[in-house]
Structure formats: structure tokens, C-alpha cells
A and B are shown apart, each in its own frame.
Chain A
């Protein structure tokens, strides 16, 4: 960040400039500045849902695009995510109070043997930002955890994540169990993780492979819209 930017006083910016500055601050991973920006917009009467979607998700989408295009790398994305998390921690209780639109519900977790949750956490955050309710099962989940969560939470979407080539085949164990128990078609199954690809997703019977968090959100929205349309025409 340049010295010139250090002198910017967020509260003196108009709404449009403040949101643009928050995009920059998110890009630079400046958590305190993001928290300050969120509080200023709240004081100005912005709805929590608008702050989330227009300032935070909007900024994080740019980060996602630049990561996809090889301009940003994992450390920078993590810093940006940490900054967004700071803003979301302010907004989350307010979103619950103000009844923000709910797009759908997702259960997500990394599979058995895999403790790498950076990607999964990014997806969770972006899904929440997009209006999904997310039930995060955490790391190292055996099939029983997924099946129990599906039964108890009745989500629209099941998300599974793996970083290791040695653990990613376990996703098929989960999907096969869903088939055996006759519930596979009740849920949209999305899978992701660095070593996966579209071919793998198809081979194990997932509905879609999601390359990154932004793609996961768009894919989830598409499936929810499809589900909604089927409901209308049924």
C-alpha cells in the first residue's frame, strides 16, 4: 500500500468511493480497514445484506478472478479472506436480525484423511456471502458424518473438498453410500480441491466439479435455480 493511500480517511469518502476503497483494501488484505468500512456504511444506514454483497463479495470476486488468472497467489487470497472474515463477523448477527434473503443450504466438509481446509473455508465464506446457509462439518470427515448431516440438516447441496490425491477417492465412497441409501438424487453434490478436475467429478458421480470458490458459488446458484424451476413446472 502506498503512503498516499495511508492518508485516506475512510469516513470522509462518499459511499461510491468508500466501496471502491474497500475493494482495494480487501485486495490488499487490510482487515482493520475493512471492519472500519463496514461500520461506516452501517452508520450511514446501509442494509447489512447490501454491504455484504456490494462491498465484500464484490471485492472478493475481484480477488477470486485475479487468483484464477495467476495474478494473485494463495497467500494474498488468504489475507483477503481474512479481511472479509473480519467484515462478515460484524455483519453476520445483523443479517440474522434483518432477515437477509436465503438462497439455499449447504453442508460442506473435507473428506476422511484430509485436514486441509483453506479451500473449503473460502467456499464456505463465499457461499455465505452469496446468501447460502452453510453447515461446516470441518475436516477429516468419515462418510457417517456426511450422512448424518444430510439427514439432520436437509441441505440442498453437499460440498466435499480434498487437497490430496490420496484422499480424493473418498468422495466416491460418500456418493456411493448416498446411492446405496437411496438419497443421492435428493441433493446436489459439488466437489472441489486442487488435484481434482471435471473428469474426476463426473467419474465419481458428483453433479459438478468447482475449480474455485467463485465457481462454486455460481454453480450452486445455477443448481438452485434449476431446482426452483423444476418445482414450478412439476
Chain B
């Protein structure tokens, strides 16, 4: 399992379980880790390409098609996306299929814990998770054209004040890498270790 494949193609893990976790590719490592730790052998994982994060308008249709495709093979499907910029459209898809999804506006919120995140007043913070720190070029630099036009940086990030790295794992190498990303964007750096936050409880509720 490499990050580039998760970004562009997603992942199909083992089959034959009772419950399918239909997830964003950016969450694959965390979900597989939770499955392993908790011995949720009855849960299979299918991830959509993580790059959909950059095109949230495409998420509802992609999830809709995946649910339709896998529905017959499972007792239940749990969608491991939050709203993720779909403006409620993903919730409508899930409701139409009578399946549940993760609560909250996005992964930054549920990793931090939705209640704690909502209580924070951080409108000028730009967030990265473990996956996004590793895939920074694919998710930030290239889609925004900063590889070709670095001079556009302040038009995109001029109103931000800090980059917050929400770490799921404790990895000094990733912290150092996140710091270089902050410097590249001209932002102050803050590291908060969140672990898996509400993701762990959301999956536990389905297990």
C-alpha cells in the first residue's frame, strides 16, 4: 500500500467480511490499523481515490456508485467520510441508501474530535494530517499550481496565519516534514497530536 496509489486509485482490501467500510483513501492506513488493533475481522475496507479531497463535488457520485456496486455483498456499509465539502449532498446519498456516515464537517474535525474542533476559533489555520503531510505536493502544491507559479502563494495563503499539523501517529520525521511545508507556505507552525479521535469511536460503533 503506497500513498500514490491511495491518492489516484484508492484501495480494495480483503473481501468476505460482513461489513464494508467505504472510505476516503487518505484514511486507509488509520482504518486498517484500527481493524488490526481491534481484530474487526468482519470488516472489509474499500477506499476511493484520496484525490477526491481536492474535488469535493465529485465525492457524492463516487460514493453513490460504490455503494451500489458493493451493496449486495455485505450486510451493511459504513461510509467513512464526513461531509468533506459536499454541502450535505453526501449525507443525502447515504440517506437514500440507508447507510450511515461519519459525523462532522471533515477529517480535521473528527480527528481532533468534533466537539473540541467546533469549540476552537481557528479560521486562519490550514490543516494537514499524516497523509496530507506525506502527500503535500499532490494535494496542495500541484493542484494550486504552486510548482509552476510559486508567486501565487500569497494569493492562496495570504489570509492564513498558521499551519496546524494534526498527527495521527508519533513520527518525528513527519513533524519535521510538516514544518518544512509550513515554511514553504509562509505560515507559522503548530503541531497537535490527535491520534484517531472520533474516527476510532465512529468505527467502534459500527463494529
A residues lining the B interface (CB < 8 Å): 73-76, 78-79, 82, 113-118, 139-140, 164-166, 168, 195-197, 200
Contacts and interface: CB of A to CB of B under 8 A. Distances in A.
B159 A76 contact: no
A interface, over-half SS: loop
Contacts of B149: 75, 78-79
Given A78-B152, A82-B155, 8 more contacts: A74-B145, A115-B123, A115-B159, A116-B159, A118-B155, A139-B159, A165-B86, A200-B87
Interface of B: 56, 83, 85-88, 105, 123-124, 144-146, 148-149, 152, 155-156, 159-160
Which A-B residue pairs are the 8 nearest by beta carbons? A75-B145, A115-B159, A165-B87, A195-B87, A166-B105, A113-B123, A78-B152, A78-B155
B85 A195 contact: yes
A200 to B, nearest CB: 7
B123 A74 contact: no
A73, A140, A165, A168: residue with the most chain B Cβ atoms closer than 10 Å? A165
A165 B144 contact: no
Contacts of A116: 159
A195 B56 contact: yes
Contacts of A165: 83, 85-88, 105
Contacts of B85: 164-165, 195
A168 B160 CA distance: 19
Nearest to A168: B87
Contacts of B146: 75
A90 to B, nearest CB: 20
A196 B156 CA distance: 20
Nearest to B126: A115
A87 to B, nearest CB: 17
Nearest to B145: A75
A168 B86 CA distance: 12
B86, B105, B152: residue with the most chain A Cβ atoms closer than 10 Å? B152
Contacts of A113: 123
Contacts of B148: 75
Contact of A75 (B124, B152, B159): B152
A76 B87 contact: no
Contacts of B159: 115-117, 139
A118 B152 CA distance: 11
A115 B144 contact: no
Contacts of A75: 144-146, 148-149, 152
